[in-house]
Amino acid sequence: MNRSETQSQTNISYADSVLICIDIQPRKRIIWTTHNILPEYIQEGFTLAELNQAITHFHEVMLPNAVKVAEFARDRKIPRIFVHWAPGAGAIEILEDQPRPHNAFDIYEDDFVIPKTEMDAFPSSNIDQTLDKLARRTLIMIGGHTMGCLGQTAKSAIKKGYTCVLVEDATFDCSQERWPKGIAEVPYHRIVTTEQLLKMNGG
């Protein structure tokens, strides 16, 4: 089934779904300037405007939508997996002391909180084993970066035969210009907005 055909479907199966949240972690709301811009960003050729637009998007668009998606999953008994950078993994934008899921999420004892040490969660965490135990094949994916950890994890999931549904406005990248490009380069089976997801029925 091609991408356009899957895009036209109305619902998803709650019984077959898992929420995958990648790297939505506590981070300070800063303003990038010529004085604090990271060397990695200079090498990438990012402008201050696109970096600061991405910060605004993270806090004002992505995070509120991600919380809604997480609550949607919780209300419908969809298992939730929160993946984050492990301590010492070298994430350049995680500006809090302890890597963990963002404080905006209500984390419950039956949620899965998984550290990873590389961009792709599959070779660097136990997400594969966790999904095997859950025996569900549809991944509702949120988080970032679309051209980094989220994108790499999604590519691996698709290769492993999972159906990947991306909630577009619950994702982010360090650059607002790069954000949609990262989405476009992954062959997601379906891309929806938070509003569309919340209106879906399932079984």
**pLDDT tens column, 37-80:** 999 999 999 999 999 999 999 999 999 999 999 999 999 999 99
The pLDDT, as a whole number, for residue 177 is 96
Mean pLDDT of the chain, nearest integer: 90
Cβ neighbourhood burial of 75 (10 Å; 0-12, 13-18, 19+): exposed
The pLDDT, as a whole number, for residue 167 is 98
Least confident of 16-25, 91-100, 148-157: 91-100
- Per-residue pLDDT at 201 exceeds 90: no
CA distance 94 to 163: 29
- Residue range 31-41: mean pLDDT, rounded: 93
3-198 placed in CATH 3.40.50.850: yes
CA distance 96 to 135: 34
Domains of the chain, residue spans: 3-198
The pLDDT, as a whole number, for residue 14 is 93
Q: Among residues 159, 133, 97, 116, which one has the least CA distance to residue 21?
A: 116
77, amino acid identity = K
